[in-house]
Chain A
Amino acid sequence: MAIYDVKPAQPAPVNHHGVFHWLRVNLFKDVKNAILSLLCIYLLYLTVPPLLDWLFFSATWSGSQDEVTKDGARWIFIIEKFDQFIYGFYPEHLHWRPLFVAALTVAFIASVKLLKSIKLKIAIILLYPFVSIIFIYGGFGLEVVETDKWGGLMLTVIVAAVGIIASFPIGIMLALGRQADNMPVVKTLCITFIEFVRGVPLITILFMASVVLPLFFRDGLDFDKLLRALIGITLFQAAYIAEVVRGGLQAIPKGQYEASESLGLSYWQGMILIILPQALKISIPNLVGSFISLFKDTTLVLIIGLFDILAMVTLTNSDTNWLGYEVEGYVFVTFIYWVFCFSMSQYSKSVERRFNTELK
Chain B
Amino acid sequence: MSTTEFMIRMENVNKWYGDFHVLKDVNLNVKKGEKVVICGPSGSGKSTTIRCLNHLEQFQKGQIFIGDTELIEDVKIVRHIRSQVGMVFQHFNLFPHLSVLENLVIAPTWVHKKPRKEAIETAMYYLERVKIANQANKYPNQLSGGQQQRVAIARCLCFNPEIMLFDEPTSALDPEMVSEVLDVMVELAKGGITMICVTHEMGFAKKVADRVIFMDAGQIIEENDPHTFFEQPESDRLKLFLDQILSH
Contacts and interface: CB of A to CB of B under 8 A. Distances in A.
A263 B97 contact: no
Contacts of B86: 262
A256 B95 contact: yes
A326 to B, nearest CB: 50
B110 interface: yes
Interface residues of A, number: 23
Interface in A113-152: none
Interface in B52-108: 54, 56, 75, 79, 82-83, 85-87, 89, 91, 93-98, 106-107
B56 A263 contact: no
Interface residues of B, number: 28
B144 interface: no
Identify the interface centre among A263, A266, A278, A359: most chain B CB within 10 Å of its CB. A263
Contact of B93 (A256, A266, A281, A359): A256
Contacts of B93: 253, 255-256, 258-259
Contacts of A17: none
A274 B111 CA distance: 14
Given A262-B82, A263-B159, A264-B159, A358 B96 contact: yes
A262 B83 CA distance: 8
A355 to B, nearest CB: 7
A52 interface: no
Nearest to B81: A264
A218 interface: no
A266 B98 CA distance: 18
Contact of A264 (B94, B97, B111, B139): B111
Contacts of B91: 253, 255
A79 B49 CA distance: 75
B228 interface: no
Given A355-B97, A357-B97, A263 B142 contact: no
Interface in A215-261: 253, 255-256, 258-261
Interface string A332-360: 00000000000000000000000101111
A266 B106 CA distance: 12
B211 interface: no
A278 B96 contact: yes
A117 to B, nearest CB: 14
Nearest to B141: A358
Contacts of A277: 97
Contact of B139 (A255, A273, A281, A357): A357
Nearest to B86: A262
Contact of B94 (A259, A273, A355, A359): A259
B171 to A, nearest CB: 14
A359 B97 contact: no
Nearest to B106: A273
A192 interface: no
B155 interface: yes
A258 B56 contact: yes
Nearest to B55: A261
A261 B83 CA distance: 10
Contacts of A359: 141-142
A252 B83 CA distance: 24
A263 B106 contact: yes
Contacts of A255: 89, 91, 93
Contacts of B54: 262
A35 interface: no
Interface in B132-182: 139, 141-142, 155-156, 159
B56 A262 contact: yes
Contacts of B142: 359-360
B89 A258 contact: yes
Contacts of B94: 259
A269 interface: yes
Nearest to B138: A360
A34 interface: no
Given A357-B96, A357-B97, A269 B110 contact: yes
B195 to A, nearest CB: 15
Identify the interface centre among B54, B96, B142: most chain A CB within 10 Å of its CB. B96
Contacts of B79: 264, 266
Nearest to B155: A263
Identify the interface centre among A253, A256, A259, A269: most chain B CB within 10 Å of its CB. A259
Contacts of A360: 139, 142
Contacts of A40: none
Contacts of B87: 262
Interface of A: 253, 255-256, 258-266, 269, 273-274, 277-278, 281, 355, 357-360
Interface of B: 54, 56, 75, 79, 82-83, 85-87, 89, 91, 93-98, 106-107, 110-112, 139, 141-142, 155-156, 159
Given A264-B111, A274-B106, A358-B141, 19 more contacts: A253-B91, A253-B93, A255-B93, A259-B94, A261-B56, A262-B85, A262-B86, A262-B87, A263-B111, A263-B155, A263-B159, A265-B110, A269-B110, A277-B97, A281-B97, A357-B96, A357-B98, A358-B96, A359-B141
25 contacts: A253-B93, A255-B89, A259-B89, A259-B94, A262-B85, A263-B106, A263-B155, A263-B156, A264-B107, A264-B111, A265-B106, A265-B107, A265-B111, A266-B79, A269-B110, A273-B106, A274-B95, A274-B106, A278-B95, A281-B97, A357-B96, A357-B139, A358-B96, A358-B139, A359-B142
> Lowest 6 A-B CB distances belong to which pairs?
A259-B93, A255-B93, A263-B107, A264-B82, A264-B111, A264-B83
